[in-house]
A and B are shown apart, each in its own frame.
Chain A
Amino acid sequence: MSKYNLTELTAHQARVLLDKREISSVELTKAFLDKIFDLDDSIKSFVTITSELAIKQAQNADKRIKENKIDDLTGIPLQIKDNICTAGVRTTCSSKMLENFVPPYNATIVDRLYESGAVLLGKGNLDEFAMGSSTENSYFYPTKNPWDINCVPGGSSGGPAAAVSADEVIGAIGSDTGGSIRQPASLCGVVGLKPTYGLVSRYGLIAFASSLDQIGPITKDVTDSALILKAISGYDSKDATSINVEIPNYSDYLNKDLSGVKIAIPKDYFGDDIDNGVKKVIYEAIEVLKNLGATIEEISLSVMQQFALAVYYIIAPSEASTNLSRYDGVKYGFSDRLNSENLMESLYKTRQHGFGPEVKRRIMLGTYALSSGYYDAYYLKAQKAKRMIKAEFEDSFKKYDAIITPTSPTVAFKIGEKSSNPVQMYLSDVLTIPANIAGIPAISIPAGFSDGLPVGMQVVAPRLREDTIFHIASSYENATNWNKFKPDLKS
């Protein structure tokens, strides 16, 4: 028995112990696997657990540590959302369509994590094809919120957020198209970062809405978020939208006071549609930021408050309808050909039976928005409104370093509460969507509790200003320690 509670360690804490040889990666990995086997029957955060691979990778990591070939993540056990391709390890998108899909190659971020010596514990559950805000749309099973297993963990990266929150993993990798990293991080009381569009390669991320999708870390604290971002970001010739910039050492921006930092609070995002308990927590957090030296001023972001949700739910389904046209039962994935008389019938049946209701709803919504006669009214208009939203952010950032809002309008809601009402579910993303539309970075960090459930604060910064995000987030985290609270889990 180790004298440390291994599963509660962050990556940077484990790094110190691994490098001092007080613990080994195998020991650490086994502790997490034990925890997963103990707990995941009730949390359901994993789609696939890769025990054998994990032990092998941990043994290699221990060898590397012995040889002093150490990177930030050498020997650190992680989970990866199951819409990110892992060669030889089933990657399902939590869809019947890809239930048995084994990718022939790794996503770029998987290659980078492996090269740094990270250990893969398994693949995280999600809303089918990352479409949803509760992980109830998984073809396999809904994931439960570790703070209350009758509640959703949020989504679509509900598996990764729940796994981090329940100490089943040290950290996780998610994807965020309209809030899919930040909203579940908020609902599970962990740190979730959506980086600048193009900062992290999307090669091997199974596409949902290509102009909005971005990969990012879900972690127990801000320091780990900076470490993982450093490991996975950077130019990749395999992604045409990859940004070619030098990646700063994000850890240099942690733990500093906030004097001189100007923060804007958009009053439009503190309206009646935000729960009072959530608002109270964020107002208290703003006071903390003031005490740390930040200047706080109120602004208005009325354009995005009015239009961002509609713009998103036109653009994202439109892109999804074209991206998901590749699932035809011919090249890979589920095929209903044996029940079909001809090729056309096989195509219709494969898509009818391979996709779940929300995916079909979005494909059809996008097909409609792009169809002849409606293109101008919906898609083209949404693309133009997108420019207005981006301009509104740019105007604000002329005067302010960052914008702060709640991450989610509510705390975790009950499983089943919103699943029959798509519009109600879509409103869960109202605060996170604007950053995706503008392609700018945003983080959710734990800021307190309402009714015993975690509340997240969102920090939004200009393009490629992840340094500003880490600066504000780590300074706040240091002053409050909300991230140290743990759910009471009985396995």
Chain B
Amino acid sequence: MAITEKDIVHIAELARIGITNDEVKSMQIEMSKILEHFNVLKDVVVDKKEPLTLSDELHSVTRKDLDNNESLVANDNMLSNVPELQEGFIKIQAVFES
């Protein structure tokens, strides 16, 4: 499956990554080469196989619905890496126009 520069722009948008025109060009070449390598999978007959989502058959893990505060990280600590805080809230740019 060939990938076009237009596809690259679309994928970058889906991935929320800003991309320059030069990057679109080089990414188109690199991703085409990588996808070409994936073509080996075209010939695999897998139709009857169930997809394997985790390496081992795992089952849900539950715990008792109890107050478990001691394992929680304190609020201040959790917020210590936030780029911009205001009165204990995470500050972002306005979403609605004022």
Contact = CB atoms under 8 A, between A and B. Distances in A.
Interface size class of B (residues with CB under 8 A): 35 or more
A342 B81 contact: no
A332 B52 contact: no
**Secondary structure dominating the interface of B:** loop
Contacts of A347: 16
A306 B54 contact: no
Contacts of A332: 81-83
A343 B93 CA distance: 5
B8 to A, nearest CB: 7
A237 B49 contact: no
A388 interface: yes
A350 to B, nearest CB: 9
B41 A388 contact: no
Contacts of A368: 3, 7, 11, 31
Contacts of B63: 237
B61 A313 contact: no
Contacts of A390: 52, 55
Given A332-B81, A378-B38, A390-B52, A363 B30 contact: no
A439 B30 CA distance: 29
B92 interface: yes
A293 to B, nearest CB: 32
Contacts of A343: 92-95
A257 to B, nearest CB: 32
Interface string A404-445: 000000000000000000110010000000001111100000
A374 B50 CA distance: 18
Nearest to A378: B38
Nearest to A370: B14
A240 B62 CA distance: 9
Interface in B28-76: 30-31, 33-34, 37-38, 40-41, 44, 46, 49-56, 58, 60-61, 63, 71, 73-74
Contacts of B78: 104
A203 B10 CA distance: 34
A34 to B, nearest CB: 33
B52 A102 contact: no
Contacts of A335: 83-84
A463 B50 contact: no
Nearest to A380: B51
A329 B82 CA distance: 8
B41 A422 contact: no
A54 interface: no
Contacts of B60: 240
Interface in A100-114: 100-102, 104-105
B37 A423 contact: yes
Nearest to A464: B56
A396 interface: no
Interface string A34-62: 00000000000000000000000000000
Nearest to B53: A383
Interface in A331-379: 331-333, 335, 337, 340-343, 346-349, 351-353, 355, 360-361, 363-365, 367-368, 371, 374, 377-378
A337 B94 CA distance: 12
B2 interface: no
A334 to B, nearest CB: 8
B55 to A, nearest CB: 3
Contacts of A383: 51-53
Nearest to B81: A332
A384 B81 contact: no
B54 A387 contact: no
Contact of B37 (A313, A321, A342, A346): A313
B36 to A, nearest CB: 8
A197 B55 contact: yes
A314 interface: yes
Contacts of A313: 34, 37-38
Given A360-B27, A383-B53, 15 more contacts: A104-B80, A105-B77, A211-B53, A335-B83, A337-B92, A341-B93, A343-B93, A343-B94, A349-B18, A360-B15, A371-B14, A374-B1, A390-B52, A422-B30, A422-B33
25 contacts: A198-B55, A237-B63, A240-B58, A240-B60, A241-B58, A243-B56, A310-B37, A314-B41, A330-B90, A332-B83, A337-B83, A343-B95, A346-B92, A363-B15, A365-B34, A368-B31, A384-B46, A384-B49, A384-B52, A388-B46, A422-B33, A423-B33, A426-B37, A438-B55, A463-B56
Interface of B: 1, 3, 7-8, 11-12, 14-19, 27, 30-31, 33-34, 37-38, 40-41, 44, 46, 49-56, 58, 60-61, 63, 71, 73-74, 77-78, 80-84, 90, 92-95
